Amino acid sequence: MSMMYKVQLPLTTERNPWSGLDTTIYPLFQDIDKYKQWCKERVGANGWNYYGMYHKNPCVFKFKRAEDLVAFKLVHGL
Whole-prediction pTM value? 0.82
Decide if pLDDT at 2 tops 80: no
pLDDT of 36: 94
Provide the angle, in degrees to the nearest 10, between the axes of the packed helices 29-42 and 66-76: 140
DSSP label at 75? H
The per-residue pLDDT for range 13-63, each reduced to its tens digit, is: 888 888 888 888 888 889 999 999 999 999 988 889 999 888 888 999 999
Helix or strand (DSSP H, E) at 42: helix 29-42
Q: Domain boundaries in the chain?
A: 5-76
44 vs 71, more confident:
71
